[in-house]
């Protein structure tokens, strides 16, 4: 398989990037997208050129490190899949493939295809935690009755891997799907009740400080989320936030 790759190259955070063209022959359809980039980088290194920098870690679709915008879609054309789990059989021989970093003011490009997503870390630090008594009298979590529906909803929200595809896909670069998933996974469980109100207030405040846009409920985030996180979480976060603001 031969591909015409158009890849965003940017030396560092402060430089101006642009799209570079690469012709890559010998791509196998069983390669993952990241393996294809490895293949390209081997070729570039053999030719004495600088390889393309891109983020990756587990390559199993669970770490959320890979953050590529492929042909105008976060994580590429296959729904419910991260870039590392996307395979080249989804592309045609001779196809032109645009590869760009996730773009948002709150996700500045560090180099080539790597963006700084520490804004997500700071949102989590603002409230995505619970207080646990460690004095020795701690109740075993498994002995606390939790309605099945709540447990399922909390688990679904907790499957968010924080990859940032929601921000990248949203026309407003809104981080509400991510933040709402992190709010929901705690607010639905008994262990999350102690900080329930301060959590949502602090996390939304931090989200706004980071420079993410506001949600206009287009649903693009849910459609392109590799874990299928539902926009119902955004409605839940709105509810939690408004109630917490009134009670404050």
Considering the complex, what minimum distance in angstroms separates the CB of residue 100 from another protein?
A: 6
Helix (H, G, I), strand (E, B) or coil at 200: helix
Site residues (vs another protein, CB under 8 A): 6, 8, 19, 69, 71-73, 98, 100, 103-106, 109, 169, 171-174, 176, 204-205, 207-208, 211-220, 222-224, 231-232, 234-242, 245-246
Considering the complex, what minimum distance in angstroms separates the CB of residue 39 from another protein?
A: 22
Considering the complex, what minimum distance in angstroms separates the CB of residue 216 from another protein?
A: 7
Q: How far is residue 37's CA from residue 66's CA, in Å, rounded to a whole number?
A: 12
Instruction: Name which of 52 and 106 has its Cβ closer to another protein.
Output: 106
Instruction: Name which of 188 and 237 has its Cβ closer to another protein.
Output: 237
CA dihedral angle for residue 173, residue 175, residue 177, residue 181, rounded to 10 degrees: 170
**Which is nearest to 209 in space by CA: 126, 148, 153, 147?**
126
Considering the complex, what minimum distance in angstroms separates the CB of residue 3 from another protein?
A: 15
Considering the complex, what minimum distance in angstroms separates the CB of residue 215 from another protein?
A: 7
Instruction: Name which of 2 and 239 has its Cβ closer to another protein.
Output: 239
**Which is nearest to 18 in space by CA: 5, 6, 3?**
6
Instruction: Name which of 40 and 234 has its Cβ closer to another protein.
Output: 234
Helix (H, G, I), strand (E, B) or coil at 115: strand
Across-strand partners of 174?
213
Helices 176-187 & 196-209, crossing angle to 10 degrees?
170
Instruction: Name which of 24 and 223 has its Cβ closer to another protein.
Output: 223
């Amino acid at each position: 398989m031969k591909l015409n790759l158009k890849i965003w190259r940017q030396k560092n955070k402060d430089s101006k990037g642009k799209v570079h063209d690469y012709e890559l022959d010998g791509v196998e359809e069983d390669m993952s997208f990241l393996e294809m980039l490895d293949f390209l980088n081997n070729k570039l290194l053999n030719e004495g050129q600088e390889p393309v920098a891109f983020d990756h870690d587990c390559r199993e679709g669970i770490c959320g490190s890979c953050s590529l915008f492929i042909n105008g879609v976060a994580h590429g054309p296959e729904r419910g899949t991260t870039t590392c789990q996307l395979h080249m059989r989804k592309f045609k021989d001779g196809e032109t493939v645009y590869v760009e970093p996730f773009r948002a003011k709150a996700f500045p490009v560090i180099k080539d295809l790597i963006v700084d997503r520490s804004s997500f870390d700071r949102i989590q630090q603002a409230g995505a935690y619970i207080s646990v008594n460690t004095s020795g009298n701690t109740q075993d979590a498994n002995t606390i009755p939790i309605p099945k529906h709540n447990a399922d909803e909390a688990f679904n929200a907790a499957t968010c891997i924080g990859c940032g595809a929601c921000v990248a896909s949203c026309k407003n670069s809104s981080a509400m799907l991510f933040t709402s998933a992190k709010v929901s996974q705690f607010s639905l469980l008994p262990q999350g009740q102690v900080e329930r109100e301060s959590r949502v207030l602090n996390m939304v405040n931090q989200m706004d400080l980071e420079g993410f846009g506001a949600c206009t409920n287009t649903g693009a985030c849910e459609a392109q989320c590799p874990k299928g996180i539902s926009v119902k979480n955004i409605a839940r976060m709105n509810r939690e936030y408004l109630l917490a603001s009134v009670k404050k």
